[in-house]
Amino acid sequence: MKQIVSIIALSLPITMSSSIVFALPSEEKALFYTNDLYEETKLSSGSSKENQIELLEADNEESNFSYDFKLLTGIVYTNNLYLGYDEKGFNPALTLTLDMDYYDFFFESNRKNRINSELGRVYIGYHLWENDNYQLDIISGSYAPAISKENEDGEPVPELINLNERENDYNFGARFSKLDGSTYYSLELVYDLASLTHNGWILDSYAGKVHTIGNWDITYGLGHTWYSENTSNYFLGIKKEEVAPGISSYKTGASYAINLEFSAQYPISESWVFEATLTHNWLSKNISESPLIIDDSITIALIGFGYVF
């Protein structure tokens, strides 16, 4: 499926925390408990105990909200995948990623669970359950892009004159993940619940590992994405009424893609980071044989600098 270079994303490490005041002793100190950690906070002698409690609650509210906002600029390389598109080569890239958590709700990119966040998908979801190593989330997001009758310049593609345009899908499902030291595993199962596009299933599995060498963070990962028959035919199939000169009817079964990712990051300053990312996708034979597809793999490479706000 086609990758999107520029993306806005949100993701949050969420921790539910509540502050309970145990004592307000004469020494003007408040002892409170947050996430199994006792902290002693000096009270201001010029304010009331009620105001101090309100301040503690406000601080606790802030601890339930977090965000990570980054601007990435650089050069991206991609090859042609879709009929009629001429995207192959190097192009400037400007990417914004925003990862946020508020209590157990999140809006995230792949930054926390896959290395190619700038080239990946966006999730909106809710953390159902978690412990030290495992997590279960409700997730939603787009896993496959739209396909248009026009190319990237807005010009009609002759072979696609009769094509019913494919819309971006939007799926709902669950993600089970495990963090084992520097290794991350995830398994996602989503469905076109609203029947807006393919009315099918997508199963995505992934394993990634981080190595720290000096100031370098080196990450690599391997993923596998399975598309059900309905999903595959919506994006790859050609109905009889869509046939045109240069394009024939096509129907297929379930398909898959295998994804290999590599990333390197090096901090230049407190806010600036050098980044290099490479992702390569091998497509199953019935994907590459679709009249809409002109290659059997996708390669995307990005090199640039990120500014973390």
Q: pLDDT 10s digit of each residue in the chain, 309 long?
A: 433 333 323 222 222 233 222 223 333 333 333 333 334 444 444 456 566 666 655 555 567 888 888 888 999 999 988 998 876 889 998 888 888 999 999 998 755 445 444 446 788 999 999 998 999 999 999 888 889 998 888 889 999 999 999 998 999 999 999 998 899 999 999 999 988 899 999 999 999 999 999 999 999 999 999 999 999 999 999 999 999 999 999 999 999 999 999 999 999 999 999 999 999 999 999 999 999 999 999 999 999 999 988
Which pTM was predicted? 0.78
Q: What are the structural domain ranges in the chain?
A: 20-59, 65-308
Phi/psi of residue 19, each to 5°? -100, 130
pLDDT for 104 equals: 93
Contacts of 202 (CB under 8 A, 6+ apart): 143, 144, 171, 173, 188, 189, 190, 191, 225, 226, 227, 228, 231
pLDDT for 60 equals: 58
Fold topology of 65-308: Porin (2.40.160)
Contacts of 38 (CB under 8 A, 6+ apart): 31, 32
pLDDT for 305 equals: 95
pLDDT for 225 equals: 95
Q: Are 21 and 108 in contact (CB under 8 A)?
A: no
